[in-house]
Amino acid sequence: MTDILYSPWRIKYILSEKEKKCIFCLKPSKKDDEKNLILFRSDSSFVIINTFPYNNGHLMVVTNNHVSSLNDLNDIQLNDLFKIVRLCEKVLKKVYNPDGINIGLNLGKAAGAGIDEHLHVHIVPRWIGDVNFMTSISGTRVIPESFEKTYKLLKEQFDNAKVKK
């Protein structure tokens, strides 16, 4: 059986007026990580909570470089990106104990990238039965936890985490 990640509530984001400048360049430059939901920074990337999530704990690992392809990263940057993806998996398992995790990249608009000019990796915790009647019938997604609560729960784990070499 194939799982389908159905997300009609994201139409609000798709149809919304977009920031003229790249939000993945703007948010980390503001230096207010809590307000901008940035959980962790490494030398080449950062972790941010997705404000249009598929599920609680939907994270994105974003490169510091404004690039759109994995081929635009050098080996050090690429290695750092995936070390941080691995760290996100560890933190999400500890905090939320999901039944599974989707990890993915959408390279280009045709592949589904909402922000195609700045490379980012989605990490989405999943639970058996996490798509319920609200999503299926009314096109409404229930995210039971506030961004502030999610931030606090995850931030503590990222602050205490060690990145594997």
Q: Which residues are catalytic?
A: 120
Rounded Cα distance between 127 and 139, Å, is: 19
Rounded Cα distance between 61 and 90, Å, is: 14
Within 8 A by CB and 6+ apart from 155, the residues are 34, 39
For residue 99, how many C-alpha atoms fall within 13 Å in the half-sphere facing its CB?
7
Within 8 A by CB and 6+ apart from 12, the residues are 52
